[in-house]
């Protein structure tokens, strides 16, 4: 599935998005937002919310994997491996209430978001 397909699915769900590039940005922001909520849930010793928010982050990353454009070669392989590793970290963070693993995932997604914004701003 490419970015346009993901965009079409997203807009069918009554969410207006400016472009497929904006969708990717929103997905990265979602991971950061949900990780922050999961971290709060860990601090509050709320297992149900911890699992809920981490599962939301995992769902976004799974979607990011599904929309990778396989025609892009090495970058696609790299991102797929990175995303899968981030899912593993989130699963571990969930199982062990681990702040460090959540922070590691958030750091990676902050970097991805910044790089994505830089790339899309250059393209405009």
pLDDT of residue 15: 54
- What DSSP element (H or E) covers 50? helix 47-66
pLDDT of 120 over the 90 cut: no
pLDDT in tens, 33-43: 999 999 999 99
pLDDT of residue 19: 85
Contact yes or no for 101/89 (Cβ under 8 A): yes
pLDDT of residue 49: 98
pLDDT of 97 over the 90 cut: yes
- From residue 20, how far is each of 12, 27, 36, 88, 124 by CA, in Å? 13, 11, 25, 26, 13
- Nearest to 37, CA basis, from 88, 89, 94, 110: 94
pLDDT of 47 over the 50 cut: yes
pLDDT of 113 over the 80 cut: yes
Domains annotated for the chain, with CATH where assigned, are 3-123 (1.20.120.340)
């Amino acid at each position: 599935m490419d970015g346009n397909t993901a965009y079409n699915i997203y807009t069918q769900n009554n969410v207006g998005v400016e472009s497929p590039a904006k969708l990717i940005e929103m997905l990265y922001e979602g991971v950061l937002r949900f990780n922050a909520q999961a971290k709060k849930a860990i601090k509050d010793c709320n297992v149900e919310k911890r699992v809920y928010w981490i599962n939301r982050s995992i769902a976004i990353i799974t979607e990011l994997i599904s929309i990778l454009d396989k025609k892009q070669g090495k970058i696609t392989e790299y991102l797929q491996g990175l995303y899968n590793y981030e899912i593993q970290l989130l699963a571990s963070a969930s199982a062990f209430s681990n702040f460090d693993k959540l922070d590691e995932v958030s750091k990676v997604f902050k970097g991805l978001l910044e790089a994505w914004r830089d790339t899309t701003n250059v393209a405009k």
